[in-house]
Copies of this chain bind each other. A is one copy, B any other.
Amino acid sequence: MSKITIALDVMGGDNAPTEQVIGAGKFTKEVENCKVVLVGDESEIKKILDKNPHNASQIEILHTSEFIGNDDSPKEAIRSKPKASILLAADLVGKKEADAVVSSGNTGAVILACAKKVPRIPGVSRTALSAIYPTQNKLNRKDSLALMLDVGANIHCDAEELFQFALMGSAYSTSIQKVKEPLVGLLNMGSESHKGNDSMVNAHRILSESPNINFYGNIEGNNLMQGIVDVVVCEGIIGNIALKSVEGVAEVAKNLTKQAFKERLIWKMGIALLSGGIKQLKNATDFAEYGGAPILGFSGICIKAHGRSGNRAIKNALKVAAQAVQDKVCDKIEEKLEA
């Protein structure tokens, strides 16, 4: 295997660049034969590297002082900051000087930067932002995550595009989640094939007829967390709202627990006894373990890590990127599209 090169946008994310650089350093200590190009402020990067473990022979720095913040308008920032770290990092992939780009920065800016710099895989109509989430099976320690796409790169999608999402999601799931024939579900408002809008009805038919997709059928909102499928396909607007709705419940539950258990000593004692179980749940739902989710459809691996990523999440995002490169996920998507 030839050396894998990953471009890391160290300036994007809530904890940038410290956690990004530390994560990259840890990655080089754990994974051989992979080079990481740290894109960002050189003097800051060097300061952090000096204080933290890393394998210098696997690290390069590409200096830039421009970056796009979380509060910047993606469209405007991409136009007005041509040397922003995410644009330079994506450009390395576009020029084939890197195999993958990883960023925990502004989601809209990451998508636009990749769209500007990295060509799409031939035949792909639209790229899709995916999310990886734990299901009930995962929480039962069967290690079953699910991949959902699109969760917001697009608004409306037609049937053919939903079908392409299914192909791309299956290829990625096979590589990263190690599911041989991933089961694909179409997120809809009912289980029957005639449910939903025209895109969904037609997508159901195309998916049912395709020999290249292991199609489960329609799934509903309440099936998402059950883990009955490996890949969930949906229009961007629906995926975005469903995913955030699920995250919202978890946030509220956390707040309520905190509050309720401040109030009563007997509840505090209960919580203390439960702490093992709670930690186990917390681990299972900890995004840092999964490291990031792909934006699929580009002719290079593009991984969006969570904005709150710490160094462990960044390290895992780099691992996920290396795995996807090694498994030639982009080639596999192209093959599936041609089939």
Contact = CB atoms under 8 A, between A and B. Distances in A.
Interface of A: 135-136, 139-140, 152, 155-156, 187-189, 196-197, 220-226, 236-238, 240-253, 255-256, 259-261, 264, 266-267, 269-274, 276-277, 280-281
Q: Copy number of this protein in the oligomer? A: 2
A106 to B, nearest CB: 13
Main secondary structure of the interface of A (DSSP, over half): helix
Contact of A225 (B139, B187, B249): B249
A58 B318 CA distance: 71
Contact of A156 (B135, B197, B246, B266): B197
A264 B277 contact: yes
Contact of A274 (B140, B220, B251, B270): B270
Nearest to A261: B277
B140 A259 contact: yes
A314 to B, nearest CB: 24
Among A242, A259, A269, the most chain B Cβ lie within 10 Å of the Cβ of A242
Contacts of A281: 256, 260
Contacts of A226: 248, 252
Contacts of A273: 266-267, 269-270, 273
A249 B224 CA distance: 8
